[in-house]
Structure 1
Amino acid sequence: MKLFRCQACSQVLYFENIRCERSHHTLGYMPERFELSALEEDGAAEAGGAVLWQPLAEPEARVRLCANAQCEACNWLIPAESEEQFCDTCRHNRTVPDLTVPENLMAWRRWQSALHRLVYTLRRLGLAVPNRVDAPDHGLVFDVLADPPDGPKVLTGHDEGIITLALSEADDAERERRRTTMGEPYRTLLGHVRHEVGHYYWNLLVRDAGRLEECRAVFGDDSQDYGEALKAHYANGAPADWQDAFVSAYATAHPWEDFAETWAHYLHIVDTLEMAAAFGIRVRPRLPKTPAGTGLPAAEIDFDPYGPIGIEELIENWLPLTYAANSLNRCMGAADLYPFVLSAPAIAKLGYIHHLVRTSRLEAKSGNALQPLGEG
């Protein structure tokens, strides 16, 4: 994620802003430009009565707001000539809760915020993000479901491109209860969707792209019974030495979960590093050198993590940033920003995800098949 600036007054803006408090302009996000723009009314309206806007970031264009803007759940823009009523992210919504219930509306808005950030990152990575209308056989859709009055609670999960999201998880108290019950160090809405979409891209970029064997060489044999593996994990927990090779305890449950957890961490890393670069963050620990010359590592985050950069440089900057951020959080009595330890094998798995994503982007541009690991 990055910072934005109002084109009318130069006020600093953030991704979810819908109005500039200085210039009072309505704001809209232009996904094709990765730009948040101040808007001015065009003075014309469509046949259906929708207001048309002139984005100051592209004055010659005419746009309208996504239909979910009326729920204050989206600030993305659609070209005026488009027949679509929903933006590129909201078109992935298949099921929404009853929004006439105020509590549902507030919770759904929080899920929507996470989904918009997710799609931003996927698009910045150059990944295809098909919806179920344009790609009925493999499109990505989200069902945000409230718990039924009588019956089992909704569980977040993935099934062949259909991602179910439990509306109740948007309640901080409920999510914290689940986090502590399950012994997790980290549980957020954005973390959920990044993990679940990892399963989706395993289907697209590994299974359907003929990369099963090379992926198994990194993450293990995914042909083992998934249901039985989860039962064993919940019954016995993770191995005592899990941090030696996995990004999280849950990643030990099954190779599919290892891939999805590693995928989510990769998205955490590139998105946070982009924001750190936007703030020009440098980490220079001021500690006296030891006789051996060792100390905390430094970082100068002045690069685009989505650009032509290797996993080594990403990690070399990520680790010092998390050391600093975790220490700052502790000064406020808050939990660590990144409560994980990355071992060399876990970093190697992140390197595989990095290669997979970058090679997929090249394949999409060139029309060639994905290359085996080590050739791209």
Structure 2
Amino acid sequence: MRSYRCRVCENPLHFENSQCVSCGSRLAFSRDEREVVPVDQDGRYTAADGTTWTVCRNLGLSGCTWLASTEGAQCSACDLTRTRPHDSDAVGLRQFWDAERAKRHLVAELDVLGFPVVDKHTDPQDGLAFDLLSSVAESVTIGHADGVITIDLAETEASHREKLRAQLDEPYRTMLGHFRHESGHYFEWQLVRGQERIARSRELFGDESADYQAELDRHYAEGPPEDWESSHISAYATMHPFEDFAETWAHYLHICDTIETASEYGLALPGPRTAQDSFRDVVVGTWVPLAIALNMINRSMGHDDLYPFVIPGPVLDKLEFVASLSGARLDG
């Protein structure tokens, strides 16, 4: 995540700020400029090209500070949400606020990395949509199907996540992690196309045509293979090639975002990156030393490791493949 400064007084800002705590200026996030910008008392912002934008109508509903193209409209990030909790569901609406914040974080990172985010209003067949569902009254299964990502809003609750994390013996479980993982299913569906790309994906992750339900049943009955750590980023990644890709994709986003944040906030990184660096070089030369340092900081505070994962050689190859997709087009 980038660091931002108020254009009025130069005070440091955060991505979600709606007001500068120093000078009191109202603020909004411009997706076009990838900047936090000042708005007038009516929530309007005029860009350098003369285009007028207004703060998203969902500021009070979900804390959205993004700019919308017309007054009274919602922004392009909110357009991605197809279903949300009913107005009478107080618990669901509270959880919806946190889920939308994680979703905006995801969208902003995808923009920076060059992955196209097209909503289903624009492209009903191949576009992306989110069903952010409350599980207060009914069970919700997190997943992806045909461009629709379903999220259980109960996952915003730390106690709920920790209970499931322990039950499933997972080292890591966050709402942003869910968004990143499920977006991996979507982008594999859209970007791993063409004979050469599919062949390379199968070489790295396995044959995605394997029966998903059968592999799911096997995984939960038998667990991961004994030597899974030598070729997979997580035990869950061993379940099916689709899950291996999605887990690898999520870690690619974890790594890119954390390195950017560390750099933006002045943390010392081990050596400068160059345009010629492969993603393997970035992981080995920058990410691994940084992750070790961050883990040690967490331990100094009595917390679990921030990044409790080991990246073996085969996973480096998978991460390199995922990174190569940033130049791919949705139509292949």
Change (3 A) 1:175 1:195: same
Q: Deviations over 1:271-301 (max 9, x none)?
A: 1111111123225xxxxxxxxxxxxxxx13x
- State how far apart, in whole Å, the 2-side matches of 1:138 and 1:209 are: 19
Shift of 1:218: 1.1
Q: Letter of the aligned partner of 1:188 in structure 2?
A: T
Query: Alpha carbon RMSD of aligned pairs, Å?
Result: 2.1
Give the aligned partner of residue 194 of structure 1: 180
Q: Is 2:124 the counterpart of 1:136? A: yes
TM-score (normalizing by structure 1): 0.83
Shift of 1:59: 9.1
Q: Letter of the aligned partner of 2:235 in structure 1?
A: A
User: Which of 1 and 2 has higher RCO (CA within 8 Å, sep 6+)?
Assistant: 2
C-alpha contact 1:277 1:303 (8 A) present in aligned 2:
no
Give the aligned partner of residue 293 of structure 1: none
- State how far apart, in whole Å, the 2-side matches of 1:180 and 1:144 are: 24
Q: Deviations over 1:77-134 (max 9, x none)?
A: 023xx48812111100000012343322221011001100100111111111111110
Change (3 A) 1:209 1:264: farther
Give the aligned partner of residue 257 of structure 2: 271
TM-score (normalizing by structure 2): 0.94
Q: Letter of the aligned partner of 2:218 in structure 1?
A: A
Change (3 A) 1:72 1:209: farther
Change (3 A) 1:122 1:84: farther
1:334-353 equivalent positions in 2, closer than 5 A: 334-353=303-322
For these two proteins, the number of residue pairs brought into alignment is: 331
- State how far apart, in whole Å, the 2-side matches of 1:211 and 1:244 are: 24
C-alpha contact 2:273 2:282 (8 A) present in aligned 1:
no
Based on CA coordinates, which of the two structures has the bigger radius of gyration? 1
Q: Any gaps of 5 or more consecutive residues in structure 2?
A: none
- State how far apart, in whole Å, the 1-side matches of 2:124 and 2:231 are: 37
C-alpha contact 2:141 2:150 (8 A) present in aligned 1:
yes
- State how far apart, in whole Å, the 1-side matches of 2:144 and 2:72 are: 26
1:1-376 equivalent positions in 2, closer than 5 A: 1-41=1-41, 51-54=42-45, 58=48, 60-79=50-69, 82=70, 85-147=73-135, 149=137, 153-207=139-193, 211-283=197-269, 299-300=270-271, 303=273, 309-315=277-283, 316-357=285-326, 359-360=327-328
C-alpha contact 1:4 1:12 (8 A) present in aligned 2:
yes
C-alpha contact 1:54 1:60 (8 A) present in aligned 2:
no
- State how far apart, in whole Å, the 2-side matches of 1:108 and 1:134 are: 24
- State how far apart, in whole Å, the 2-side matches of 1:124 and 1:209 are: 28
Shift of 1:17: 1.3
Change (3 A) 1:155 1:118: same
C-alpha contact 1:52 1:62 (8 A) present in aligned 2:
no
Once the two structures are overlaid, the 10-residue window that deviates more, 260-269 or 31-40, is: 31-40
C-alpha contact 2:156 2:175 (8 A) present in aligned 1:
yes
- State how far apart, in whole Å, the 2-side matches of 1:266 and 1:172 are: 24
- State how far apart, in whole Å, the 2-side matches of 1:54 and 1:122 are: 24
Change (3 A) 1:24 1:52: closer
2:58 counterpart SS class = helix
Q: Deviations over 1:2-41 (max 9, x none)?
A: 1000011111111111111111111100001110112223
Shift of 1:207: 4.0
Shift of 1:264: 0.4
Q: Any gaps of 5 or more consecutive residues in structure 1?
A: 42-50, 284-298, 371-376
2:237 counterpart SS class = helix
- State how far apart, in whole Å, the 2-side matches of 1:182 and 1:145 are: 22
C-alpha contact 1:3 1:12 (8 A) present in aligned 2:
yes
- State how far apart, in whole Å, the 1-side matches of 2:276 and 2:18 are: 32
Q: Letter of the aligned partner of 1:337 in structure 2?
A: L
Q: Letter of the aligned partner of 2:91 in structure 1?
A: E
- State how far apart, in whole Å, the 2-side matches of 1:169 and 1:210 are: 38
1:201 counterpart SS class = helix
1:334 counterpart SS class = coil
Change (3 A) 1:208 1:102: farther
Once the two structures are overlaid, the 10-residue window that deviates more, 337-346 or 91-100, is: 91-100
Change (3 A) 1:142 1:334: same
C-alpha contact 2:144 2:182 (8 A) present in aligned 1:
yes
Identity %: 38
- State how far apart, in whole Å, the 2-side matches of 1:136 and 1:166 are: 23
